[in-house]
Amino acid sequence: MSEIPVFKTTVMDSEGIRRALTRIAHEILERNKGCQDLALIGVRTRGVFLSRRLAAKIQEIEGFQVPLGIIDITLYRDDVGRSLPKSVMGTTDVPFPVTGRRIILVDDVLYTGRSIRAALDGLMDLGRPQNIQLAVLIDRGHRELPIRADYVGKNVPTSREEFVDVLLEETDGTDLVGIRDREE
Amino acid sequence: METNAHFARKDILGLEDLSAEEILTVLDVARSFREVSEREVKKVPTLRGQTVINLFYEPSTRTRTSFELAAKRLSADVVNFTVSESSAVKGETLIDTARNIESMHSDIIVVRHPVSGAPQLLARAVKSSVINAGDGAHEHPSQGLLDLFTIKEHKGKFEGIKVLIVGDISHSRVARSDIYGMTKLGIEVTVCGPPTFIPVEIGKMGVRVTCDFDEALAETDVIMMLRIQKERQHGGLYPSVKEYARFFGLNRDRLSRAKSDVLIMHPGPVNRGVEISPEIADCTQSLILEQVSNGVAVRMALLYLLSRGAYGKAAH
């Protein structure tokens, strides 16, 4: 478990994260008119925990357990070959056919859009979903690709010099979103 | 917790050079790649635009196909050079051939050569990454790694596992890679075979030596049967195939004296009825075909970990 960084601005606390996820769960159900054919797929690492929390909320609201999957984008990144390969990677685990389903892709921070591009390519290799929607906890701007989120926890204006960290109970021992300066 | 550990090697020449940590990294990465081979679309775009050359100076079906599939599943372009159809028969040297290949902008060269040490020579001469796919009686690191991967999948650990390697240890590059890898990870290795097949100084590699298969069998968790390499025999090392099979072949009678959960491995190709009887090769404890599937995942991991592409090469 890593040390909690020193933030110059706190964007969301645990209550804020909880409320944002509750709202997103409602928005997903409203937009899709229930959870027929719905499935959540989290982008490793923190998107996975957010997708589980969203699934729990949908279960509370609709009494239905939507299928959950995990996508690892390491093999789909566009910067393979720009640095030494990462020697730690997770596994994609989508235990249901994606073809014909409405997939909610879940990630923690939407920034350049490159991770989402990689995740979309990864998903397409698994089948042909009816549609793919994107849910993120934070949208910090600075897109480099024509990608937008369908569900956003919070829009946070940032400069490229800053880092946005999403800390989650499951990996970091606490729920917190903060901004810090790039370390020299 | 995710780390940013990097694998900073240009070549994979043998398990003698790799640290225990590096070996475990390859095995971890291989685990992720196994999932790709189980998909309907067995392909990821990771090595798109990179060129992998299979340079084989010795016949091989399994290893070459395995490397070829591994590269293709990573979207690399693969070219196979085999000795019978290339310039080697016209007298070109290994290094000249490799430099010519490299002029066509290869990124990774997978080489198999009958001379021990040939991949080392090649690695020094070319900028491409080199993977040793078997050199003489020296090493066969990708086979050693897939054997370790297969053991880990079944036993869940390495520390304290007992492996018995049976057969022609002297001529076996698989045995050598296995022994280097296994001893580094805490596996207790015993080698067994007729004295003519056991190198004199093998004990220095940290293994126990025995000529009594039946005695060694009782304690072991994994039996690794090696092929009698007829192509490397120049006669006189064992009286007859029949006699070899009687003393060092794995058959039902012998297996009944081993632990009930003993695992049976073989690097292939299998000489049925010589080192292993047909019913044992096909029994439920036999992992022979699983080794082959795991081989693709392990080779994907090696290709991925060596891939740096044009940008990486410029930066390092």
State pLDDT tens for residues A76-107. Answer: 887 765 666 666 677 889 999 999 999 999 99
Amino acid at residue number B270 = V
ipTM confidence: 0.71
Distance, C-alpha B190 to centroid of its chain? 18
Closest CA to B16 of B95, B84, B124, B116: B116
Partner residue opposite B29 with nearest CB, options A89, A126, A171: A89
Contact yes or no for B46 and A76 at CB 8 A? yes
Cα B282–Cα B285–Cα B288 angle in degrees, nearest 5: 55
Do residues B169 and B175 lie in contact, with contact meaning Cβ atoms separated by under 8 Å?
yes
- Same domain? B248 vs B216: yes
Do residues A135 and A150 lie in contact, with contact meaning Cβ atoms separated by under 8 Å?
yes
- Same domain? B131 vs B245: no
Confidence of residue B229 (pLDDT cuts 50, 70, 90): confident
Mean pLDDT of B65-92: 85
Mean pLDDT of B207-236: 87
How many angstroms separate the CA atoms of A108 and A116, rounded? 11
Among the residues of chain B, which ranges form H helices? 20-37, 62-73, 94-102, 118-125, 141-155, 173-184, 213-217, 241-248, 252-255, 278-281, 288-306, 309-315
The sign of the torsion formed by the CA atoms of B278, B143, B53, B39 equals positive
Give contacts of B43 with chain A, Cβ < 8 Å.
Answer: 125
Give contacts of A91 with chain B, Cβ < 8 Å.
Answer: 31-32, 35
Output the pLDDT for position A90.
Answer: 79
Output the pLDDT for position B88.
Answer: 66
* DSSP strand pairing (A102-110 vs B162-166): unpaired
- Same domain? B174 vs B203: yes
In a domain, A50, yes or no: yes
Output the pLDDT for position A26.
Answer: 97
Across the A:B interface, residue pairs with CB atoms under 8 Å apart total: 81
- Same domain? B154 vs B31: no
Residue ranges of chain B whose CB lies within 8 Å of a chain A CB? 1-8, 25, 28-29, 31-32, 35-36, 39-41, 43-47, 50, 74, 304-305, 307-312, 315-316
How many angstroms separate the CA atoms of B237 and B18, rounded? 33
Domains contained in chain B, number: 2
In a domain, B10, yes or no: no
* DSSP strand pairing (A38-43 vs A9-12): unpaired
Output the pLDDT for position B315.
Answer: 41
- Same domain? B76 vs B162: no
Q: Containing domain of residue B216, as a range?
A: 141-288
* DSSP strand pairing (B263-265 vs B222-225): parallel
Percent of chain A with pLDDT over 90: 82
Partner residue opposite A125 with nearest CB, options B41, B307, B310: B41
Output the pLDDT for position A3.
Answer: 72
Contact yes or no for B35 and A126 at CB 8 A? no
Q: Which DSSP category does A138 fall into?
A: E
CATH classification at residue A134: 3.40.50.2020
C-beta neighbour count of B209 within 10 angstroms: 17
Do residues B297 and B149 lie in contact, with contact meaning Cβ atoms separated by under 8 Å?
yes
Q: Containing domain of residue A40, as a range?
A: 9-75+97-181
In a domain, A4, yes or no: no
- Same domain? B279 vs B146: yes
Partner residue opposite B32 with nearest CB, options A91, A122, A171: A91
How many angstroms separate the CA atoms of A140 and A131, rounded? 24
Cα distance from A168 to chain B (closest Cα, Å)? 13
In a domain, B8, yes or no: no
Cα B124–Cα B130–Cα B135 angle in degrees, nearest 5: 90
Domains contained in chain A, number: 1
- Which residue bears the tokens 């990454």? B129
Q: Nearest chain A Cα to B308, which residue?
A: A81
- Same domain? B159 vs B280: yes
- Same domain? B145 vs B272: yes
In a domain, B150, yes or no: yes
- Same domain? B82 vs B129: yes
How many angstroms separate the CA atoms of A24 and A62, rounded? 14
